[in-house]
Each structure stands twice: as structure tokens, then as C-alpha cells.
Amino acid sequence: MKKINLPIKWKLTIWYGGILALILVVFSSGVYIYFRNSLERSIDAKIKSIGDVLSSSMTETHNQTVFGNFERYLENVLGRKPKGKFIQIIDSSGRIGAKMNDIETETVPTSFSTLERALKGEVVYETIETARPRLRLVTIPIMEKQKVSSIVQIGTSLEDFDETMRKLFIIMIISIPTSIGVTIAIGYFMAKKTLKPVDQIRKAAVKISSSNLDERIDIKGRKDELGKLAETFNAMISRLKDAFQRINQFSIDVSHELKTPLTILKGETEVALRKERDRDDYKNLLESNLEEIDRMSKIIDDLLLLSKAEAHDIKLNLEDVSLRDLVADVCVDMRIFAENKGIELVVNELEDVKVKGDELKLRRMLWNILENGIKYTQKGGLVAVSSHMNNGYVAIHVKDNGAGISQEDIKYIFDRFYRADRSRKRESGSGLGLSISKWIAEAHNGSIEVQSKPFNGSLFSIKLPI
């Protein structure tokens, strides 16, 4: 069976209307039952009061006086002739001694069980359904010397009662559906008005694509839940725009990084093929080509590493690593690179602590940070390495006095292929070293921060948990 998908405004309206209908039906039923019972108790009390007056009077009066002129007797006892009532006196043998009938029905049948219960001294209430109109009847025994001498029956017509209950029922039958209908109409209007911003959000979301991520959802400064929803969508669109820009820039950078060595390979090969050359020329050409191939291979390997890292497809080989030995070993290897550039690499005080980590990846992280500092420090400059402990973390500081980084560029330097100075040719590497270092630090529950100013050098701080 196919599921029917209704709009939210209709679902809200139906739910609200259904709940209201249930409440009205339950409430109206309670009112109807309470009103009916109250009227019945009132009718019973009235006819019972008449019966009590008659029974108390008859115990003080001889029956012959009562039976002689019953209507006058009732006027004397009750003060006036009862209207719309049926009254009769029955002796202990079941014969009717006196009767007064002021209702349309001719006879009122008295059941044997009612008489039997009355003769036992029990007051009996009953409704005569066969009579037209219906009658409410109370049968009261009159006791003399602890015996039932006679029985008084007082009845009243239920015509007014039935008419009142019928009118009440009609009022409820008309008012309940009318109230529900009006409520549904108003509820639909309010739901439609309330959900109108949702439709605006939907239409705006349909218009937004990768080519117009500058579009924003405007619902005119609402501060309610829908306003917060629109703000959330706008924030998401901003993040998507930033992600698309990064992806586009990343594609451009990858193309540039791979195009350069390919262009060199192609150019050198074309030059070599223009004429015959000796063995040494071909050897130099192949060595140059091999350098460019190695460069492309490193770029591709680093990209694969980052892709696997983002997919959480790399497992760390965790072990206890002596941080002092690790930093010292990396600095020994990097000192040759620094000396070739005429840069002094200084190792200051190092904390003798152990961290839980993957030694090879930690070594690569330090190598990348040191290489970056040496690469962008001018000849005669200084790169210093130190570490210290603080609140359960060990911080490794790599400080240089190189060109520095502007504040606008600091937040992007860990992006892939990002270059603060686009006019500066990258000296070597894949352009992914800082991105890889950031991932390695975060994989070890640490972080990398950088502080820098143009022409005042940079300070990279690596924090790792002890």
C-alpha cells in the first residue's frame, strides 16, 4: 500500500484538529452525563419530598379521610394541587385506594417486583419506559407499628427532561463539529503562515549551487527556531563555499605542481631529440628527468598519505618514544642541509620525556617543520630547537629568523600547496609538508601552532601529550 505523504501544514492541522475533537467529545460527554444525572437527582428529590410529606401525613390521618376526597386532601397537605404529577395510594393487598393523575397517560403499570420490594419496606425508584410520555416513579411504603400499611406512588412526566436533554444533545452535535471545523481552518491558516519561512528556505536552497554560493537565505531577522534554522543553513553555505574554494585552489595547485616537472621533462626531452648528443649529455638529461620524476612521485605519495589519513585508513604504530633522542637525531640529519645553505641550526635545552607515538611519523613531522624553517631562512640566519613541559604536554619549539608570515596567511599555511608568497618559487619538496605535519600532530592528540610576523621570523610550537 502506497504511503500518503502529506505536507507538514496539513499534518499539523489534522493532528491539532484530531486532538481538539477528542477533547471536545470527552468534555461534552462528561458535561452531558453530569447534567443528565443532576436533573435525574433533582427530579427524584422533588417527587421523594412529596412522598415523604404524604406518608408522614397519612400516618397521622385515618385512611378513610384520605380516600374520601383525595384531591382536596392533597391540597390541604401540600398547600396546592400538584401539577404534572401522578399520585396513587395502594393498600397492603395491592389495591388502589386513591389516585390523582395530572399527566396525559391514562394508566401507570405497577410491576409486581416493585410492590414486593415496597412491602418489604424499601423505597423504589424506577422509570416507566412504556408510558408516553416516560414517567419517573417513586414507590414509598407507609409504616404503622413496624408494618407496611399502605404504599404511596408519586410519578412525574419526563417530557420536559427529555426535551431538555434533546436540545442539549443537538447543541453539542452542532457546536462540536462547528468548533472543530473553525479550529481546523484557523489552524491551517496559522500553520501555513508559520511554515511560510520554511518554504522560503526550501526555494532558496533549490537556487543555491556550486556556481552561486554567495546566495543566502533571508527571513527578515526572525529570532525564533526558523530564524536559527536559516542561520544554520547560511553558516553551512558559507562552509560549503569555503570548501569549494579550497577544492578549486587545491586542483589548481596540484595541476601547477605536476605541470612544472612535466613541462621540464618534455622540454628537456625535446631539446635532446633535436640532434645527436654524446653520452654525457644523455646521462645528464636522464638524471634531470629522474629528479623531476622523484618530485612528482613524492607529491603523489604525500597526497595518498593525506587521503588515507582523512579516510582514517592509517594505523599508528604506537610505542614509547624518547623525545630528546628523537629531536636530537632529526637535528643531526638536518644540520647538513642547514650548513649547505649557510644557516646555523642550534639545539637548546630538551626535556627528557617519553611520549606514546609512532616514531617514524613523529620523525617526519619534525623533519618537515625544520626543513620549512631552514628553507625560508636567508643565508646567515638561525634556526633554534627547544622543548619544555606544561600541564601534561611537552611543547617542541622551532624558531627561525627568516622572512616570516603575514597574519592573513598564517591560517592557511597548513593547507595543501599553500604559498604565502605566490611569486616565490618553491625550492623543493611537495608543498604538503606542513599539512602532513599537522595531521601527524593531531593523530597523536596534539597540535601545531605558529606565531609569525613579516621579516621577524616564525615560531612553530608542537604540543604532544606526555
CATH of the domain at 456: 3.30.565.10
79 phi and psi, to 5 degrees?
Answer: 90, -20
The verdict on 15 and 66 lying in the same domain is: yes
Residue 187 lies in a domain: no
The verdict on 331 and 278 lying in the same domain is: no
The verdict on 249 and 301 lying in the same domain is: yes
The verdict on 141 and 280 lying in the same domain is: no
172 phi and psi, to 5 degrees?
Answer: -65, -40
Query: At which of 148, 164, 180 does a domain end?
Result: 164
Query: Residue 121: in which H helix or E strand, if any?
Result: none
The verdict on 41 and 98 lying in the same domain is: yes
The verdict on 272 and 333 lying in the same domain is: no
The verdict on 13 and 158 lying in the same domain is: yes
Task: Give pLDDT, residue 424.
Answer: 44
The verdict on 147 and 20 lying in the same domain is: yes
Task: Give pLDDT, residue 32.
Answer: 92
Sheet holding 344-347, edge to edge: 344-347, 382-390, 393-400, 458-465, 447-452
Residue 178 lies in a domain: no
Residue 188 lies in a domain: no
CA dist., res. 253 & res. 279, Å (int): 36
Number of domains in the chain: 3
Task: Give pLDDT, residue 383.
Answer: 92
Residue 413 lies in a domain: yes
Question: Which cell numbers in the block locate residue 176?
Answer: 462540536
Task: Give pLDDT, residue 64.
Answer: 46
**What range defines the domain where residue 294 resides?**
225-310
> 382 and 457 in contact (C-beta within 8 Å)?
no
Task: Give pLDDT, residue 27.
Answer: 92
Helix locations, 311-358, DSSP H: 323-340
Residue 3 lies in a domain: no
> 221 and 200 in contact (C-beta within 8 Å)?
no
> 396 and 363 in contact (C-beta within 8 Å)?
no
The verdict on 326 and 461 lying in the same domain is: yes
Query: At which of 277, 310, 343 does a domain end?
Result: 310
Question: Grid cell 379521610 — which residue?
Answer: 65
The verdict on 441 and 408 lying in the same domain is: yes
Burial track 338-365 (b if 16+ CB lie within 10 A, e otherwise)? beebebebebeebeebebebbbebbbbb
> 455 and 448 in contact (C-beta within 8 Å)?
no
Query: At which of 268, 291, 310 does a domain end?
Result: 310
The verdict on 362 and 393 lying in the same domain is: yes
The verdict on 305 and 330 lying in the same domain is: no
Query: How far does CA 377 lie from the centroid of its chain?
Result: 53
| pLDDT per residue as tens, the chain (466 positions) | 556 677 777 888 888 888 888 999 999 999 999 999 999 999 888 888 887 777 777 765 545 445 555 666 666 666 666 676 778 888 777 777 777 776 666 566 677 788 888 888 888 888 888 777 788 888 888 887 778 778 888 888 888 888 999 999 999 999 888 988 888 888 888 888 877 777 777 777 777 776 777 777 776 767 777 778 878 888 888 888 887 777 776 677 677 667 777 887 888 888 888 888 888 888 888 888 888 788 788 777 777 777 777 667 778 888 999 989 999 999 988 888 888 889 999 989 888 899 998 898 899 899 989 988 888 888 889 999 999 888 889 999 999 988 888 888 887 788 776 665 544 444 555 567 888 889 888 888 999 999 888 888 899 999 999 8
Residue 91 lies in a domain: yes
Residue 46's domain is classified under what CATH number? Answer: 3.30.450.20
Task: Give pLDDT, residue 259.
Answer: 77
